[in-house]
Amino acid sequence: MLWAKIQVITTNEAIEAVSVILEKFGGKGVEIDDQTSSNLQSIKENVNNIAPNACSVTTWIPENPDLDIEKIKHEINNLTQYGLNPGKVKIYLSLEDDVDWNQEWKKHYSPINVTHDLVIIPSWQKEKYQKDPRIKIYINPGMAFGTGDHPTTILTLQALLMTFQKGDQVFDIGSGSGILSIAAAKIGAREVQASDVDESTLENAEENLRLNQVEGEVVLSIGDLLNNQKQKADLIVANILAEVHFKLIPQLKAHLNPQGRVILGGIINDKLASVIEILQDNNFVVKEKLMMKEWVTLIVEPVS
Protein backbone atom coordinates (compact mmCIF):
# COMPACT_ATOMS: atom_id res chain seq x y z
CA MET A 1 0.00 0.00 0.00
CA LEU A 2 1.15 3.54 -0.77
CA TRP A 3 0.94 6.08 2.04
CA ALA A 4 0.90 9.84 1.74
CA LYS A 5 3.28 11.40 4.25
CA ILE A 6 2.00 14.90 4.99
CA GLN A 7 4.10 17.43 6.90
CA VAL A 8 2.43 20.69 7.91
CA ILE A 9 4.54 23.69 8.91
CA THR A 10 2.54 25.74 11.38
CA THR A 11 2.79 27.48 14.77
CA ASN A 12 3.08 26.07 18.26
CA GLU A 13 -0.37 27.31 19.24
CA ALA A 14 -2.04 25.56 16.28
CA ILE A 15 -0.40 22.13 16.76
CA GLU A 16 -3.36 20.42 18.42
CA ALA A 17 -5.95 21.90 16.05
CA VAL A 18 -3.85 20.90 13.02
CA SER A 19 -3.59 17.38 14.43
CA VAL A 20 -7.38 17.17 14.65
CA ILE A 21 -7.72 18.31 11.02
CA LEU A 22 -5.19 15.71 9.83
CA GLU A 23 -7.08 13.02 11.75
CA LYS A 24 -10.29 14.12 10.05
CA PHE A 25 -8.65 13.51 6.66
CA GLY A 26 -7.50 10.02 7.66
CA GLY A 27 -4.22 10.65 9.49
CA LYS A 28 -2.79 7.67 11.37
CA GLY A 29 -0.94 9.20 14.28
CA VAL A 30 0.96 12.47 14.36
CA GLU A 31 4.61 13.29 14.89
CA ILE A 32 5.38 16.76 16.25
CA ASP A 33 8.67 18.58 15.71
CA ASP A 34 9.27 21.82 17.56
CA GLN A 35 11.74 24.51 16.54
CA THR A 36 14.66 22.67 18.14
CA SER A 37 14.34 19.43 16.17
CA SER A 38 16.98 18.56 13.59
CA ASN A 39 14.29 17.55 11.09
CA LEU A 40 12.68 21.00 11.15
CA GLN A 41 16.02 22.79 11.18
CA SER A 42 16.91 21.02 7.94
CA ILE A 43 13.71 22.28 6.29
CA LYS A 44 14.35 25.84 7.47
CA GLU A 45 17.81 25.81 5.94
CA ASN A 46 16.45 24.81 2.53
CA VAL A 47 13.14 26.64 2.29
CA ASN A 48 12.51 30.37 2.42
CA ASN A 49 9.88 32.18 4.50
CA ILE A 50 9.61 29.71 7.37
CA ALA A 51 9.34 31.52 10.70
CA PRO A 52 12.11 30.87 13.23
CA ASN A 53 9.54 29.64 15.79
CA ALA A 54 7.66 27.39 13.35
CA CYS A 55 6.70 23.82 14.29
CA SER A 56 5.64 20.88 12.17
CA VAL A 57 2.98 18.19 12.41
CA THR A 58 3.48 15.05 10.31
CA THR A 59 1.02 12.25 9.62
CA TRP A 60 0.58 9.28 7.28
CA ILE A 61 -2.65 8.84 5.30
CA PRO A 62 -3.45 5.87 3.04
CA GLU A 63 -3.00 7.26 -0.48
CA ASN A 64 -6.22 7.68 -2.44
CA PRO A 65 -7.29 9.77 -5.44
CA ASP A 66 -9.69 11.84 -3.29
CA LEU A 67 -6.95 13.13 -1.00
CA ASP A 68 -7.04 16.91 -1.42
CA ILE A 69 -4.09 18.80 0.06
CA GLU A 70 -5.67 22.14 -0.77
CA LYS A 71 -8.72 21.29 1.34
CA ILE A 72 -6.43 20.43 4.26
CA LYS A 73 -4.57 23.71 3.85
CA HIS A 74 -7.84 25.65 3.60
CA GLU A 75 -9.14 24.18 6.88
CA ILE A 76 -5.86 24.94 8.64
CA ASN A 77 -5.87 28.54 7.42
CA ASN A 78 -9.47 28.86 8.62
CA LEU A 79 -8.31 28.29 12.21
CA THR A 80 -8.02 32.06 12.46
CA GLN A 81 -11.81 32.23 12.87
CA TYR A 82 -11.38 30.31 16.15
CA GLY A 83 -8.74 32.71 17.43
CA LEU A 84 -5.76 30.52 16.48
CA ASN A 85 -2.87 31.72 14.35
CA PRO A 86 -1.57 28.86 12.15
CA GLY A 87 1.12 31.12 10.66
CA LYS A 88 2.27 30.88 7.04
CA VAL A 89 1.14 27.31 6.48
CA LYS A 90 3.26 25.11 4.25
CA ILE A 91 2.43 21.49 3.44
CA TYR A 92 4.90 18.91 2.12
CA LEU A 93 3.65 15.68 0.53
CA SER A 94 5.54 12.50 -0.32
CA LEU A 95 4.49 8.93 -1.06
CA GLU A 96 5.96 5.99 0.82
CA ASP A 97 5.52 2.22 0.54
CA ASP A 98 4.04 0.15 3.36
CA VAL A 99 4.43 2.64 6.19
CA ASP A 100 3.79 1.13 9.60
CA TRP A 101 2.82 4.36 11.34
CA ASN A 102 2.94 2.69 14.75
CA GLN A 103 6.60 1.87 14.11
CA GLU A 104 7.15 5.49 13.07
CA TRP A 105 5.88 6.51 16.51
CA LYS A 106 8.41 4.20 18.13
CA LYS A 107 11.30 5.88 16.32
CA HIS A 108 10.49 9.25 17.86
CA TYR A 109 8.93 8.46 21.24
CA SER A 110 11.05 7.74 24.31
CA PRO A 111 10.46 7.98 28.09
CA ILE A 112 9.75 11.51 29.35
CA ASN A 113 10.91 12.59 32.79
CA VAL A 114 8.11 14.88 33.98
CA THR A 115 9.53 15.35 37.49
CA HIS A 116 12.11 13.54 39.60
CA ASP A 117 9.41 11.06 40.69
CA LEU A 118 7.13 10.74 37.63
CA VAL A 119 8.02 9.33 34.21
CA ILE A 120 5.94 8.67 31.08
CA ILE A 121 6.93 5.41 29.38
CA PRO A 122 5.85 4.13 25.93
CA SER A 123 4.04 0.82 26.22
CA TRP A 124 6.67 -1.12 24.25
CA GLN A 125 9.29 -0.27 26.91
CA LYS A 126 7.14 -1.32 29.87
CA GLU A 127 9.20 -4.37 30.82
CA LYS A 128 12.43 -2.39 30.79
CA TYR A 129 11.14 -0.01 33.48
CA GLN A 130 9.41 -2.50 35.79
CA LYS A 131 11.88 -1.85 38.63
CA ASP A 132 11.96 1.93 38.23
CA PRO A 133 10.89 3.38 41.63
CA ARG A 134 9.18 6.42 40.14
CA ILE A 135 5.46 6.80 39.44
CA LYS A 136 5.14 5.29 35.96
CA ILE A 137 2.53 6.24 33.38
CA TYR A 138 2.43 3.87 30.42
CA ILE A 139 1.14 5.34 27.17
CA ASN A 140 0.37 3.78 23.82
CA PRO A 141 0.60 6.80 21.49
CA GLY A 142 -2.41 7.34 19.30
CA MET A 143 -4.30 10.21 17.76
CA ALA A 144 -5.49 11.40 21.19
CA PHE A 145 -3.63 14.38 22.60
CA GLY A 146 -1.59 14.17 25.75
CA THR A 147 1.10 11.61 24.98
CA GLY A 148 3.46 13.54 27.21
CA ASP A 149 5.83 15.05 24.67
CA HIS A 150 4.21 18.49 24.47
CA PRO A 151 4.91 21.28 27.00
CA THR A 152 1.20 21.63 27.82
CA THR A 153 1.03 18.03 29.07
CA ILE A 154 4.28 18.23 31.02
CA LEU A 155 3.29 21.51 32.70
CA THR A 156 -0.18 20.26 33.59
CA LEU A 157 1.22 17.06 35.08
CA GLN A 158 3.67 19.10 37.14
CA ALA A 159 0.83 21.32 38.34
CA LEU A 160 -1.20 18.22 39.24
CA LEU A 161 1.61 16.92 41.45
CA MET A 162 1.95 20.33 43.11
CA THR A 163 -1.78 20.75 43.80
CA PHE A 164 -3.21 17.28 44.37
CA GLN A 165 -4.39 16.16 47.81
CA LYS A 166 -4.83 12.46 48.50
CA GLY A 167 -8.46 11.42 48.23
CA ASP A 168 -9.42 14.25 45.86
CA GLN A 169 -12.43 13.88 43.60
CA VAL A 170 -11.01 14.90 40.21
CA PHE A 171 -12.62 16.06 36.96
CA ASP A 172 -10.41 15.84 33.85
CA ILE A 173 -11.96 18.07 31.17
CA GLY A 174 -10.79 17.41 27.60
CA SER A 175 -9.14 14.21 28.76
CA GLY A 176 -7.76 13.06 25.38
CA SER A 177 -5.40 10.11 25.90
CA GLY A 178 -6.31 9.96 29.59
CA ILE A 179 -2.79 10.74 30.79
CA LEU A 180 -3.86 13.28 33.43
CA SER A 181 -6.59 10.96 34.72
CA ILE A 182 -4.08 8.12 34.97
CA ALA A 183 -1.69 10.30 36.95
CA ALA A 184 -4.47 11.40 39.33
CA ALA A 185 -5.56 7.80 39.88
CA LYS A 186 -2.01 6.62 40.54
CA ILE A 187 -1.29 9.28 43.14
CA GLY A 188 -4.43 8.57 45.13
CA ALA A 189 -7.57 10.19 43.74
CA ARG A 190 -10.82 8.96 45.26
CA GLU A 191 -12.34 8.95 41.77
CA VAL A 192 -11.56 10.55 38.43
CA GLN A 193 -14.29 11.57 36.00
CA ALA A 194 -12.76 12.16 32.56
CA SER A 195 -14.65 13.67 29.65
CA ASP A 196 -13.92 14.75 26.09
CA VAL A 197 -16.05 15.99 23.19
CA ASP A 198 -14.17 13.77 20.73
CA GLU A 199 -15.46 10.19 20.70
CA SER A 200 -12.37 9.03 18.77
CA THR A 201 -10.23 9.59 21.87
CA LEU A 202 -12.14 7.08 23.99
CA GLU A 203 -10.63 3.92 22.51
CA ASN A 204 -7.08 5.20 23.01
CA ALA A 205 -7.88 6.41 26.53
CA GLU A 206 -9.46 3.06 27.47
CA GLU A 207 -6.36 1.24 26.24
CA ASN A 208 -4.10 3.52 28.30
CA LEU A 209 -6.24 2.99 31.41
CA ARG A 210 -5.86 -0.78 30.99
CA LEU A 211 -2.10 -0.46 30.47
CA ASN A 212 -1.88 1.34 33.81
CA GLN A 213 -4.41 -0.91 35.58
CA VAL A 214 -6.59 2.03 36.67
CA GLU A 215 -9.64 1.36 34.50
CA GLY A 216 -11.76 0.84 37.63
CA GLU A 217 -10.78 4.22 39.07
CA VAL A 218 -11.48 6.45 36.05
CA VAL A 219 -14.93 7.02 34.55
CA LEU A 220 -14.73 8.01 30.87
CA SER A 221 -17.54 9.84 29.12
CA ILE A 222 -18.35 12.07 26.17
CA GLY A 223 -19.12 15.54 27.42
CA ASP A 224 -18.86 19.21 26.54
CA LEU A 225 -16.97 20.93 29.37
CA LEU A 226 -19.11 20.80 32.57
CA ASN A 227 -22.47 21.19 30.84
CA ASN A 228 -23.83 17.79 31.89
CA GLN A 229 -21.91 17.41 35.15
CA LYS A 230 -24.16 17.17 38.24
CA GLN A 231 -21.44 16.52 40.84
CA LYS A 232 -18.70 18.64 42.37
CA ALA A 233 -14.94 18.09 42.46
CA ASP A 234 -12.06 18.94 44.76
CA LEU A 235 -9.79 19.40 41.75
CA ILE A 236 -10.70 20.25 38.15
CA VAL A 237 -7.99 19.80 35.52
CA ALA A 238 -8.36 21.07 31.95
CA ASN A 239 -5.53 20.96 29.41
CA ILE A 240 -7.37 22.57 26.51
CA LEU A 241 -7.06 25.59 24.23
CA ALA A 242 -7.39 29.08 25.71
CA GLU A 243 -10.51 29.74 23.65
CA VAL A 244 -12.20 26.77 25.33
CA HIS A 245 -11.11 28.01 28.77
CA PHE A 246 -13.11 31.17 28.03
CA LYS A 247 -16.26 28.99 28.05
CA LEU A 248 -15.16 26.73 30.90
CA ILE A 249 -14.17 29.33 33.49
CA PRO A 250 -17.71 30.67 34.14
CA GLN A 251 -18.81 27.07 34.91
CA LEU A 252 -16.06 26.26 37.41
CA LYS A 253 -17.28 27.66 40.71
CA ALA A 254 -20.61 25.81 40.60
CA HIS A 255 -18.73 22.50 40.28
CA LEU A 256 -16.11 22.97 43.00
CA ASN A 257 -16.26 21.72 46.57
CA PRO A 258 -15.13 24.10 49.34
CA GLN A 259 -11.35 24.63 49.10
CA GLY A 260 -11.52 23.34 45.54
CA ARG A 261 -8.68 23.97 43.11
CA VAL A 262 -8.40 24.28 39.32
CA ILE A 263 -5.56 23.61 36.90
CA LEU A 264 -5.82 25.28 33.48
CA GLY A 265 -3.28 24.09 30.89
CA GLY A 266 -2.81 24.58 27.16
CA ILE A 267 -2.63 28.38 27.30
CA ILE A 268 -0.40 29.99 24.67
CA ASN A 269 1.42 33.00 26.12
CA ASP A 270 -0.35 35.44 23.78
CA LYS A 271 -3.72 34.46 25.30
CA LEU A 272 -2.60 34.50 28.95
CA ALA A 273 -3.82 38.04 29.73
CA SER A 274 -7.28 37.25 28.33
CA VAL A 275 -7.56 34.05 30.41
CA ILE A 276 -6.51 35.88 33.59
CA GLU A 277 -9.02 38.66 32.91
CA ILE A 278 -11.87 36.14 32.62
CA LEU A 279 -10.66 34.38 35.78
CA GLN A 280 -10.76 37.68 37.68
CA ASP A 281 -14.22 38.47 36.31
CA ASN A 282 -15.38 35.13 37.73
CA ASN A 283 -13.73 35.64 41.14
CA PHE A 284 -10.74 33.34 40.75
CA VAL A 285 -7.20 34.12 41.79
CA VAL A 286 -4.01 32.72 40.20
CA LYS A 287 -1.94 30.91 42.83
CA GLU A 288 0.83 29.51 40.62
CA LYS A 289 2.01 30.04 37.04
CA LEU A 290 4.11 27.38 35.29
CA MET A 291 5.78 28.20 31.96
CA MET A 292 7.63 26.28 29.25
CA LYS A 293 8.51 27.71 25.83
CA GLU A 294 5.36 29.58 24.69
CA TRP A 295 2.98 27.72 26.97
CA VAL A 296 1.51 28.46 30.39
CA THR A 297 -0.36 26.38 32.96
CA LEU A 298 -2.21 28.09 35.81
CA ILE A 299 -3.18 26.84 39.26
CA VAL A 300 -6.18 28.87 40.42
CA GLU A 301 -8.60 29.01 43.32
CA PRO A 302 -11.86 30.83 44.00
CA VAL A 303 -11.47 34.11 45.83
CA SER A 304 -12.25 33.38 49.48
Cβ(214)–Cβ(178) below 8 Å: no
How many beta carbons lie within 10 A of that of residue 222, not counting itself? 12
For domain 2-106, the question of CATH label 3.10.20.30 is answered with no
For domain 109-302, the question of CATH label 3.40.50.300 is answered with no
Q: Each residue of 79-109: pLDDT tens digit?
A: 988 778 898 899 988 887 765 655 655 666 6
By DSSP bridging, strand 112-115 and strand 118-122 are: antiparallel
Q: Each residue of 16-33: pLDDT tens digit?
A: 788 888 888 888 667 777
Phi, psi of 41 (to 5 degrees): -60, -40
User: Residue 144 pLDDT more than 50?
Assistant: no
CA distance 126 to 132: 10
Which residue, 173, 177, 154, is CA-closest to 30? Answer: 177
Domain residue spans of the chain:
2-106, 109-302
Q: What pLDDT is attached to residue 5?
A: 86
Q: How many helices (H) and strands (E) does the chain have?
A: 9, 14
Cβ(84)–Cβ(17) below 8 Å: yes
Q: Each residue of 254-275: pLDDT tens digit?
A: 999 999 999 999 898 888 999 9
One-letter identity of residue 193: Q
